[in-house]
Structures are given as C-alpha cells and as structure tokens.
Structure 1
Amino acid sequence: MTTVVRLLGPPGIARDGLAVAGPRGHKAWGLLAFLALAERPPSRQRLVSMLFERADDPRGALRWNLAEMRRALGGRVAVGRDPLTFTAEPDVSIDVMGLARTTGVLQGELLEGLSFDDSPAFDTWLGVERQRLVADCRALAYRRSVELLTGGRPEEAARVAVRALESDRLNDELHAVLVAGLTRAGDQAGANAHLARCADLYRRELGAGLPPAVAAAAVRAPAEPAASGAAVRSLLDLADASLSAGTVAAGLSQLRRAVAGVADTDEQLSGRARLALASALIHADGGRGGDVTTLLHQALVHARRGGDAAIGAAACRELAFLAVQAGHRVEVEHWLGQAEGWGPTEAENARILGVRGMNLSDAGAYDEALDALGASVDTARRCGNRRQLAWSQAMIGRVRLLRGEASQAALVLDEALHHIRADRWTAFTPFPQALRAEAAVALGDGPTARELLDYAWVQTVESGDQCWVAVVAHAQAVLALHEKRDALTWCRTGLAAAPWYLWPRARLIELAARLTLGTREGADLLDELERIAGAGTMRELTVRALIHRSRVEGARHLVRARAMAVDIANPALAAELLT
C-alpha cells in the first residue's frame, strides 16, 4: 500500500492512487507540514506556541491534532517524545521531502488555500517557509542543470534551465547554462536567439545590459594543445607558491594555464587542476559565479571517473561552502553528505565540520554549531592544520559574540588571530579582527576596537573582498554607535559592496533597519531583511525583523517573534524579546 501526501498546492492524501480524506482541521495539516520540513525535531512547547497557544488546553490540542494526523495517514508515520521525532514508513511519500529528487520546480505553494490567521506565529513560519522552498528549488534546478552540462548532456541541461526560468526569469546563472547547453549541443542559432531575447528582457526589466556570464556562455574557448603532465604539475606548484606569497593574479594565471593545458583523459590531474583553480577563485579572489561552480562540478566528474576520494570530497565541500554563502540550506546538506560519502581524510573532515558549523550558525542553531565547530577545532589541531584551526575558532568566536558572550568570544578570537599571524594568513585577518573589535566594544574597550578596525579596514579595502567589507563595516558601525558617531554611513558603505555571502549582508541590513525605524528607508530595509532571512533560513535574523516591526507596527509582531524564537539558544536574543 502506497500513501502519497501532497503539501504543495491544495493539500491532499492518496492511497494506492485513490484520494482519501485528510486530517480534520487545518492545524493538523499545519503540523504535518511543519514536522515534514523541520531540520531538527521541534519541542512540543514550540508547536504549542505556534499553533495552540489560544486553546483552552494547549497541550491537549497538540495531542489531538497529532493523533488526527496519524489517523489520516493510516498510522504510517511515527511521532513521539519531546522534542518530537517524525518518521514516515518507506511506503509513504511526502512531496516536500522529495524535492531533492526532482528538477526543482515547485508544484504549487505550500499548504495552498489554507489560512492560519488565528495562529500568527505559524502564519509567519509558513510565509518564511514558502520563501525558502522557492529559493531551494531555484538552487536545485541550477545544480541539476550544471550536473547535466558537465556530465556531457547539454540538451537535457538546457531543458532543465528552460523549465526553471519559467518561474525565475532574471536568473543570470540559469540563462548562462541554457546558452552553454545550446552551444555545446551544436545549436548555435538557438543560443544566439536566446541571447537576443535575454538582452531584451534585461533591458526592459532592469534597464541593464546582458550579464557578462550569459554572453560568455555562448563562446567556446579554442582547444589548447595538451601540455605534459610534468608541465601541468609545475604550474600547479608555482600557483601554490604564488598564492601563498599573496600574488593572487599570478597564481590565478598559472592555474588557468594548467586547466587549459591538462589532458582531459588524465582524470587525477584534470580534477586537481580544476579544484585548485576553483578554490583559489573562491578563497583568494572572491569568485562565486557559474564559472566557479562549473569548475567544481568538472572536478567532481574527474574524481568519480578516477576514483579520487581526496578531490571528490574537497569539491563537494567547496560546493557546500558556496551554498552556505548563498543561503541554500538544503544544498549545503546535500553537498556535505556527498563529501562525507567519499570517506574523507581527518584533515578534510575538519574542513567539512567547519562548513557544517558555519551553516548551523547562520541558521541560528547555535548549540549544534558549537558542537560541529568544536569537533573541527579538535580535528584540525590533531592534524596540525593551523589555518583550519584558526578558521573554525573564528566561527566559534562569531557564535559567542552573537550570544552576548563577549568575554568568551574575545578569548577564542585572540587565539585564532595568534594562529593567523603565526601562519602569515593575512587574507583572512579582517574577519576575526572585526569580530574581536565588536567583542571589545561589548566589553567597553573602545581603543582596542579602534586599533583592530583601523588595521582591518585598510586590509579590506586593499583586498576588495565584498564580504569582508560588510563584516568590517558592521563592526565600524557598532563602534560608531558606542562612540555616539554616525553609524548609518558605515552600514550603507557595507551594503553598497553587495556582498555575495548573504548572512553578513542580512546582519548589516538588520542594523541599518534598526537605525532607520519609522522611515521609508527603514520599511524597505525590513522588507529586504525578511526576504533574505526567510529564503536563507536565517532564523534569528527573521526574529529580529519581527522585533523591529513590533516597534513601528504593533505588539502582534512581537508575539510572532517570541514563538519563532522558542528553540533558538541565544540568551541575548531571549533578553531582547522580554523588552
């Protein structure tokens, strides 16, 4: 007996192909959606706060609706304990849980047609989750199209891109995949026709020209004569030395020559060269576009063909890192799972744990983030990987800072900076220095904060890294507030850099919104914050947006904020929700 549950579009249940009655009451449907989509088991109190707080017997109402949900599903799901675990039998298919197996096109809105006006906290969660599902499906469609393109199936890649563009017309990356797919399939006329349509679309909708990545996708680089393996390895070694010395332009040039010259049949060297170039673009040059993603997918193809676990795990981990920065939580877990499936070395596992901790921190899962980052630190220390040790310590410092634990943040960030100086890792310095400056402000030490930020800002401007601009600008704004100077200009400076990493951008928007509450600018900033935080599952920032709304639009938003924050382990946030 097969049970199919539809939560996208008008909800319904079918058993062996025949429609059956669903659970009685819209709140049972809401419970089912919440449990099916929860990243971790929710507490009973959180569900009570979101759906049944106004009931005469809130706990009893939760139990009745859980029983009704189980009954409608023929007892084919197990729900119990506190936090509530949710397990479906193998013959139960729930559409929102199978999105990863599709091409990423939503078949309707989550719980379409159901109203939860009487449960404002759940209504807020539902709106956020609808945004997240749309964003996740866009990321999934892009991933699938690139996998097909790099796997030698350009026609299928183009078809996936066409379908995804129906609901995401201004997605540069999908347009680029479509043009590249048509070009590689030999349909140059089709590629040129789409380029013309795309140029017209961007001119009409945005008043902008054709995105460079889309135009470049129609041009196939002439085949370079293959270099010897020894020559390619020499270029890779030279690039490593150049990047270590801080000469990024020279290192990237050497890596591009290595990729252009490596024989495609040399699986190990082809994968290594593409991984090295992608990693250098990401971590040394701020590269985040489709060219970087394509390089990583190509490296993964070569790793699979050659059975190279080191390249395979690293490529998957870098794809996860990009997904963290773009706020695509489902993609992060997909790629980290793939990385772990390669049986990584202990050194690689330290990196994987670091990315997982970063992702959990962005999502507001602070206890779990500290567990992952602590394991990363321990593993990196055993391996003698000082840079990974410092990176994970900096992320721990960020969590401590966000939770209002300034003294603990200062201690771990000082240790991270010690390792960074010892390893001469200048490029990473602005991030922990900015966080350490914010900890200094929280501890009342303005002079230390100023010294740290003067140093970090010069490095940031010289590097041109957009993400560091946002991080350091936020710290500068925090210091300016402490010294009763203009903080908003710093916020605007950071936002003007348009950082690719969405979490620091959203955090900077939150501060700017707080400084402009009650103005048109403040309202626009809150709208943007809710959109970015909702799509990226940044739970604390979603709560903070609701807190700000409550100050200009009424206490009902504070009620929603408190219910949304029940499972966020942040004493600083909890204290703010009491005011």
Structure 2
Amino acid sequence: MGHEREPGRDDVSLVVQLLGQPAITRDGDEAYQPRSRKTWCVLAYLLLCQRPPTRAQLSSLLFSGADDPARALRWSLTEIRRALGPGATVDGDPVVLRLPDHAVVDASLLTRGAWLEAVDLPGLGLDLLEGTSVRDAPGYDAWLLAQQSHLRAAGEAVLHEAALGSMAVCQLDTALRHATRLVTLDPLDEGHQALLIRLYRMTGDDDAAARQLASVRELFDRELGVEPGDVVERAGRAGRQDSATAADTASVDALLEAGSAAISAGAHDAGMAALTAAVAQADATGDAVRRVAARVALAETCIHALRGLDEEGLPRLFEADRIAHDHGLRQGVADARSELGYVDFLRGRYDRAERWLGEALVYAGGAVAPTARALAYLGSVVSDQADYPRAVGLLAESVALAEEAGEPRRAAYALSMLGRVAMLRGDTAEAATQLDRSIAVAEADRWLALLPWPQALRGELHLLAGDRDAGAAMIEQAFARACQLGDPCWEGTATRARALVAEDAGDADEAFRLLGEARVRANRLADPYVWLDGHLLDTLCTLGRRHGHPDTRAWAEALRGVAARGGMRELVVRCALHRAALGEPGEADAAAVIAAEIDNPVLARLVEAALPVGGTT
C-alpha cells in the first residue's frame, strides 16, 4: 500500500548521507570523505538539481571568489570521484553525476522512496548538510536554504504517511510514535495535531486525547491568538467505529447511492452519515470490492465535497488501499492512490504525490478512466513544480482519455490546468483556447463546482488584453459562484482576480485589501491549496514593489517559506527576484541558477532583466 520495500535493497553498496552530518559509506564501511565543505556542496547540488549544471554555472555558484574558479571546481570533482568510488562517474559539461546501481542517497529516498524505508533514515528531521556553511557564495546559500526547507517538509510528509499507514494495519502504537514525532516537528499544523488526537481516541486513551486537545488550544491561543480549527475539534470528538452486526450487499449499495445523492444535493450531514454507515455495513458483508468502494466514496466526500476534512478522509484511503492490495483489486488500489496523490498535491507535498500517482498509473493498467484521473492530478503536480512541458503532455493525454471514457468533468479540470500553464508561460492565445474549452465543457455538464476556477483565470486574460469590462464581469461571476459554493480555493482565486481589476482601475489600496482578503479566504481551512497561497504572495510582492508598499519584504519572506517547502520552483525564482529588487545580495544569481531548469519565456525575461552585467546566466 505504497510501502512495499524498494527492490534490491540488500545489494546496496554505496550510501550517500546528506541529511545531518554528511558522510559516504561503501560496502558498509566508511569511505574516503571529501576534505572541503564546498566539495560536499558540489556533491549535494549535483545529486539534487533538476538539470545538470554547466561547469561555468558551478564555478560561478561556489567558486567565484577563488583565484582560479575552474581549477577549484576540477579539484572538487576529483574529490567526489574518489569518495564515490569506481562505480560512479562525474564528468562532462554540463556536469553529469551517475551513481552505481543500488546506490542510496538519503535525501532522494526521503522524497521519492517508500515511507516504510524513508521513515527509518538516520537523518530524518535533520537539515541537508547540517552545519555546513560556505563563504562568498550567496547564490548557493539561497539554493541550500530552499532545499533544506523542502526536505524538512518531505520528512514531515513521510512521518504523516507512516502514521496513516501504520493506522491502516492496526499498528496503533507505531502510528502514535510517528504522529508524536510529527507534532514535535511542526506543532502548529492542525492536521498533525488532529491525527495525534484521533489516534489517542482510537487506542482508547481518552484522557490523553483530552490533554492533547487542551494543549493544542492553549498553544494556538498563545502563539497565534486563535482557536484551533474544526479539524482538531472533530478529532477530539471522534470515537471508535462500531461494526455492523449484519448486512447484505444490497444494503451497502443502497447506502452508497443514497450518500452520493445526498452529497450532490448539498445535504452533507446526511450524505456523510450514509457513507459512514456504508463502510460499517460493507465490513460486515466481508465483500472486499464494496469495502474498498465505501471507503473511497467516504474519503472523496471528505476531500472534494466538504473540504477541511482531508485528515478524516486520508485514513479511509489507506484502509481502502490495504484492502484492495491484499485482495488483488488493482482498480481499487489505483483509485485510492490517485486520491492520496491528490491530497498531497493540494498540500504541496509534491514528491509524495508523484509517487502515489505514479503507482496509481501502474495499477490502473491502462484502463481509460482511472488513467485519465491519475494523469490529470499528476499533470497538476508537475505544473505546480514548473515542469511545464511534462505537465502539458500529461494534461493533454488526460483530456483525450477523459473524452474517450465519457468523463467530461475530468476533461474540464485538465483543460483548466492546461489553461493555467499557458497563462504562466505567457501564451495568452493558447490559455484562452483551453480555458474557453474548460468553461464550455463544465457548463454543458452543469458542473458548477469547477466553473469559478477557469472563469477567474479567463477574466484575468481579458484584463491582460485590455478589456477591463469583460474581465471584471467574468471575475465577478466567478466570485459570486465561489462564495455560493463556499470553496476556499475558488474564493481566493476569484478575489485575487478582483484585486487585479482594482489595480488596473488605479485603486492600489483596494487591490491590496482584496489580496489580503484572498489569503484569508483561501487559507481558512486546515487543508488549503498551498500553491495558491504562494501565488497570492507573489502577486502581493509584485504589486508591493510596483507601489512601494512597506510590507513587501515581509510578503517576500513568507513566499520564500511557502515556495521552498513545496519545491515550487517558479515561485522560488520569483521570490528570489523580489528579494533581489529589495537589495538582498546573491538573490538574482540564485534566481538565474534555478530558472535555467524551467522552460518559461516569461520567467527567463524577468531573470535577465534582474541580472547585473556579468551575472550568472
């Protein structure tokens, strides 16, 4: 269930530890260790960068202060070859590092490996190259800080999976241990706290659950001046699930149908009650197909229809995945892992999302509908990470398969994401085409729950084309629909677009007010779409620089935290450009290094304009 052991682990001959104090071992023994901090920095960069860097880039990034930067780089590469041994190669221009088969890099295992192995990494919770600092390399320092933040977030994601995975197989003591460690790493995350409280309740330790809930209330009041959200309070009220004593498959089917109908009609409480009963009834029948279906239906309701309840839906997905895997129900595994990937996508845990979705595609086995779903989510994941060519390919394939499967809603969603990619890359004509298609498909299927998203983006395109009236009209319609739905993401998106209308009309004060409101709306629940918050902060920084707003530096600092944790590469670059404009040294060079990995003409022009003559290219 997403935690099968990695193949070939018994054959590991080379281990590169980058988390905490760096070290290299070969065949279980300590190998030759590079003698300089900058050599470790070169190794970490080569192992973690998205695209092989040129020698000129590496020299500029780390050795610009040396008398002979090229020679200093050659010495470091020689050190790396000696440390990694004969099975590895480090050569060329760009510099390509290839490790031997079955080599393990702890930072890579943390982001791409199965949680069952990643959770036991000695460096879990420690910083990348902990304690390592370099002089005269501000661009590298900026890259390192971003990577450290990203890997800390990856460590939390692994512990979160480990707690849920252990819970799904009734290893509650193990799950408690992981959840406790998770809360220690980030005590202000409501999802982490809710998981720990829920686990205490599941083990029957109601006193511990009550103490933890009281502690969370006191912590949030002291640190944030607010009460914890509903997800925490609901966890405190959660009880152990009672099993149905007798049931038949017809009753389960009827409950699933009734629950789905109630949710579609907006009767959420009745729908949740029916679907929760369906889970218990399905368990009583022992029918594996229905046990999986009931859990996936309940989880999808928590995640998509109700929002704010992802943490309640996730355990059901892990249970569904385990049952489906144990009974050879490949379709069920694909469904569960697609939805697990979707949740991680929303939360900015892209490495974990890509793993889930990649596995979902394997289990889908080419079946049209589940493949279309996994591809739509995966395209969204890589789009958030600014891998635009890959995103376009995945999303376009999802549209084609969704149309083949007769799933217009899946097609409308993928088309909206294609439109967003085109907008970000400055291709306004393509963006208009895809967003118009998305709107038309959603309207034809009466999928009102999606419409505010493509409509807000399409309204922004009208603004860019100089048609403020058409833009404002479409954006106001998107905002009204989003508020009627009560969807935080769509409300935040539409409110941002309203801010752009205000700024276009010359009312900067109203624009800043609306952008602040957009962040409140988008983040009011415990499971927000994290990329959107970064997008809003980037807009605040852009307008803040344009109008000389005094809070621009604070917004840039907040953006750096959001973008770096998730590995949102374009937003990392944009943040560095904002900070460079505010006078922070090395940020323009750092932006250039990361932007070189991104295929976006708009971003390339921004970086080029920010670089001083002779800066990094």
TM-score, normalised via structure 1 length: 0.92
How many Å apart are 1:371 and its aligned residue?
Answer: 1.8
What's the counterpart of residue 489 of structure 1? 513
> 2:154 aligned to 123, 136, 149, which one?
136
Quote the offset at 1:402 in angstroms: 0.6
Summarize deviations over 1:166-202 as a string: whole Å, max 9, x none: 3323333333333333443344454445445444444
User: Structure 2 vs 1, CA of residues 56 and 474 (structure 1 numbering), >3 Å: closer, same or farther?
Assistant: farther
Instruction: Pick closer, same or farther for the CA change 1:53–1:372 going to 2, 3 Å.
Output: farther
Going from structure 1 to structure 2, the CA distance change for 1:129 and 1:232 (only over 3 Å counts) comes to same
Tell me how far 1:272 sits from its aligned partner.
0.5
> Is residue 282 of structure 1 aligned with residue 303 of structure 2?
yes
**Structure 2 residue identity aligned to 1:497:** R
| TM-score, with structure 2 as normaliser | 0.86
CA contact (8 A) 2:580 2:587 kept: yes
Deviations 1:399-451 (A, max 9, x none): 11011111110011111111111111111001111111111111222222122
Equivalent-residue separation in structure 2 for 1:399 and 1:523 (angstroms): 27
Does residue 102 of structure 2 align to residue 72 of structure 1? no
Whole-angstrom CA distance in 1 between matches of 2:228 and 2:478? 35
1:234-255, CA deviations, whole angstroms, 9 ceiling, x for partnerless residues?
A: 1222344445556655544432
Which letter maps to 1:464? Answer: G
Counterpart position of 2:535: 507
Q: Is the 8 A contact 2:495 2:514 kept in 1?
A: yes
Are the counterparts in 2 of residues 407 and 443 from structure 1 also a CA contact under 8 Å? no
Q: How far has the Cα of 1:117 moved from its partner?
A: 3.3
Distance 2:475 2:13 in 1: 60
When structure 1 is superposed on structure 2, of 54-63 and 64-73 the one drifting more is: 54-63
The secondary structure found in structure 2 opposite 1:426 is coil
Letter in 2 for 1:315: A
Is 1:560–2:590 an aligned residue pair? Answer: yes
2:283 counterpart letter in structure 1? A
Show the counterpart of 1:526. Answer: 556
Once the two structures are overlaid, the 10-residue window that deviates more, 19-28 or 392-401, is 19-28
Corresponding residue for residue 396 of structure 2: 374
Residue 220 of structure 1 pairs with residue 231 of structure 2? no
Aligned match of 2:494 in 463, 472, 479?
A: 472
Q: Distance in 2 between matches of 1:40 and 1:313?
A: 30
Alignment of 1:5 onto 2:19: no
Per-residue deviation, residues 541-560 of structure 1 (Å, max 9, x unmatched) = 11111212222225642232
Superposed, 1:355-370 pairs within 5 Å as: 355-370=377-392
Residue aligning to 1:405: 427
1:419-430 aligned at under 5 Å gives the runs 419-430=441-452
Deviation, 1:204, is: 4.1
SS in 1 for 2:34: coil
Cα distance in 1 between the residues matched to 2:513 and 2:228: 31
Q: Secondary structure, in 3 states, of the residue corresponding to 1:149?
A: helix
- Deviation larger for 544-553 or 18-27: 18-27
Question: Which string of whole-angstrom CA distances, capped at 9 and with x for unpartnered residues, describes residues 121-168 of structure 1?
Answer: 221110000001111111110110011112111011111222333332
**Structure 1 stretch 459-468 or stretch 239-248: which is displaced more?**
239-248
Which of the residues 196, 204, 207 maps onto 1:178?
196
Match of 1:389 in 2: 411
Cα deviation for residue 316 of structure 1 reads: 0.6
Q: Residue 435 of structure 1 corresponds to which residue in structure 2?
A: 457
Matching residue of 1:341: 362
User: For residues 177 and 555 of structure 1, do their structure 2 counterparts lie closer, same or farther at Cα, with a shift above 3 Å needed?
Assistant: closer
Give the residue type in structure 2 aligned to 1:281. Answer: C
8 Å CA contact 1:393, 1:412 repeated in 2: yes
Three-state SS of the structure 1 residue aligned to 2:283 is coil
Q: Residue deviations 1:454-500, cap 9 Å, x none?
A: 21111011111111111112222222222223311220111111430
Q: Quick one: distance in 2 between partners of 1:46 and 1:376?
A: 37
Deviation at 1:97, TM superposition (A): 2.6
How far did residue 512 of structure 1 move? Answer: 1.4
Superposition map of 1:285-364 within 5 A: 285-344=306-365, 345-364=367-386
Instruction: Note the alpha carbon deviations across 1:35-62, whole angstroms, 9 max, x for none.
Output: 3223555566654553356667766655
- Counterpart of 1:146, as a letter, is L
User: What displacement does 1:309 show?
Assistant: 1.6
Alignment gaps of 5+ in structure 2: 1-11, 610-617
Q: Which amino acid aligns with 1:78?
A: T
* Partner residue in 2 for 1:463: 485
Q: Give, in angstroms, the shift of residue 209 of structure 1.
A: 4.6
Equivalent position of 2:108 in the other structure:
97
Q: In 2, distance between residues paired with 1:33 and 1:497?
A: 39
Helix, strand or coil at the partner of 1:13: strand
Equivalent residue number for residue 274 of structure 2: 254
Partner-residue secondary structure (3-state), 2:582: helix
Corresponding position of 2:9: none
Q: Indicate the residue corresponding to 2:34 in structure 1.
A: 23
In structure 2, relative to structure 1, the CA distance for the partners of 1:201 and 1:324 (3 Å cut) is: same
Aligned 8 A contact 1:437 1:453 in 2: yes
Measured after TM superposition, the shift of residue 392 of structure 1 is: 1.0
Measured in 2, the distance between the counterparts of 1:97 and 1:445 equals 47
User: Is this contact kept in 1: 2:201–2:240, CA < 8 A?
Assistant: no
CA deviation string 1:7-44 (max 9, x = no partner):
12222223445434322433331222123223555566
Q: Which runs of 5+ in 1 are unaligned?
A: none
Higher alpha-carbon deviation: 296-305 or 130-139: 296-305
Match of 2:599 among 551, 569, 572: 569
Aligned mates of 2:479, 2:447 — CA distance in 1: 16
User: Partners of 1:2 and 1:91 in 2: how far apart?
Assistant: 7
> 1:354/1:86 Cα in 2 relative to 1: closer, same or farther (>3 Å)?
farther
Distance 2:338 2:98 in 1: 28
SS of structure 2 residue aligned to 1:578: helix
Single out whichever of 517-526 and 489-498 deviates more from structure 2. Answer: 517-526
Deviates more, 1:537-546 or 1:439-448: 439-448
Relative distance call for 1:390 and 1:70 in structure 2 (3 A) is same
Which residue identity does 2:537 align to in structure 1?
I
Question: Counterpart of 1:420 in 2: which secondary structure?
Answer: helix
1:542 aligns with 2:572: yes
Distance in 2 between residues matched to 1:180 and 1:227, nearest whole Å: 27
Q: After TM superposition, give the deviation of residue 372 of structure 1 in Å.
A: 1.5
Q: SS of the counterpart of 1:553?
A: coil
Amino acid aligned to 2:565: A
Cα distance in 1, alignment partners of residues 202 and 154 from structure 2:
27
The answer (yes or no) to whether the contact 1:46–1:566 under 8 Å persists in 2 is no
Root-mean-square deviation (CA, aligned residues, Å) is: 2.7
* One-letter code aligned to 2:132: L
State the Cα distance separating 1:329 from its structure 2 match: 1.7
The one-letter code of the counterpart of 1:346 is V
Q: 1:420 to 1:198 in 2, by over 3 A?
A: closer
Cα distance in 2, alignment partners of residues 248 and 277 from structure 1:
11
CA contact (8 A) 1:3 1:15 kept: yes
Question: Structure 2 vs 1, CA of residues 464 and 88 (structure 1 numbering), >3 Å: closer, same or farther?
Answer: same
Q: Give the alignment partner of residue 48 of structure 2, picking from 37, 45, 63.
A: 37
Give the percent of matched residue pairs that are identical in Structure 1 and Structure 2: 34
